[in-house]
């Protein structure tokens, strides 16, 4: 069974927005990727799933490196431009600069990074795997910085969201949960 783009069932996933920066045959480029996932702590591995014909994919395949910048809540315009236009047809980096957004040169790769992102990660291409109609590009982290003052932008059901903290269950409730689970443990309690 397929879960196509735009299907209401596909829109139920809540995701961060990775602003993927690259360099290569299409010059410095940026695209929005809602399928950005942290895969491993050691080594640090992050995956992005992209359409195989994207200009960003061609750039990454050429230079074997890319940036992942998690979009902050004050960067909705940046996300809309990065995700709404093709790097084959538009110089999105310079358009975004004209809109007031800033970029900086990465330390370990030949890619621009987004200033003001909640997290910016420089990656070397570790592996590429095809899954259905997308290709997963796995990057090994070569540098990472975060801004503790910025919250990541969330995308769900075609809209942008910010997270709000929900209180954990009360301490007494958590103790009751532990007691019940101890009673149902599959390991002997001696």
- pLDDT beyond 60 at 47: yes
Has residue 189 been placed in a domain?
A: no
- Mean pLDDT on 20-37: 97
Has residue 66 been placed in a domain?
A: yes
Q: How far apart are CA 187 and CA 20, in angstroms?
A: 46
> pLDDT class for 5, splitting at 50, 70, 90?
confident
> pLDDT class for 189, splitting at 50, 70, 90?
low
Has residue 167 been placed in a domain?
A: yes
What average pLDDT does the chain have?
Answer: 95
Has residue 153 been placed in a domain?
A: yes
- Domain span at residue 138 reads 15-183
Higher pLDDT pick, 12 / 109: 109
Q: How many domains are there within the chain?
A: 1
Has residue 36 been placed in a domain?
A: yes
- Mean pLDDT on 57-76: 98
- pLDDT beyond 70 at 190: no
For residue 84, give the H/E element and its range. helix 76-84
- Mean pLDDT on 169-183: 92
Cβ neighbors of 46 (< 8 A, separation 6 or more) are 36, 37, 38, 39, 68, 121, 123, 138, 139, 141
Strand order of the β-sheet with 159-161 is: 15-16, 154-156, 159-161
CATH number at residue 100: 2.30.110.10
Q: Residue 188's pLDDT is what? A: 67
Q: Residue 30's pLDDT is what? A: 98
- Mean pLDDT on 126-142: 98
């Amino acid at each position: 069974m397929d879960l196509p783009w735009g299907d209401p069932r596909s829109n139920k996933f809540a995701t961060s927005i990775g602003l993927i920066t690259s360099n290569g045959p299409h010059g410095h480029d940026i695209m929005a990727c809602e399928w950005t996932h942290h895969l491993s702590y050691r080594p640090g591995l992050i995956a992005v799933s992209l359409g195989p014909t994207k200009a960003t994919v061609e750039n990454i395949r050429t230079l074997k490196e890319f940036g992942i910048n998690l979009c902050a809540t004050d960067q909705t315009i940046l996300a809309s431009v990065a995700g709404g236009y093709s790097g084959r047809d538009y110089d999105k980096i310079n358009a975004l600069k004209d809109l007031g957004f800033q970029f900086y040169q990465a330390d370990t790769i030949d890619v621009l990074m987004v200033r003001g992102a909640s997290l910016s990660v420089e990656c070397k291409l570790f592996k590429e795997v095809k899954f259905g109609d997308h290709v997963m590009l796995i990057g090994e982290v070569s540098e990472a910085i975060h801004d503790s003052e910025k919250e990541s932008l969330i995308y769900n059901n075609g809209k942008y969201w910010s997270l709000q903290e929900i209180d954990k269950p009360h301490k007494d409730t958590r103790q009751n949960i532990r007691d019940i689970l101890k009673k149902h443990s599959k390991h002997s309690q001696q």
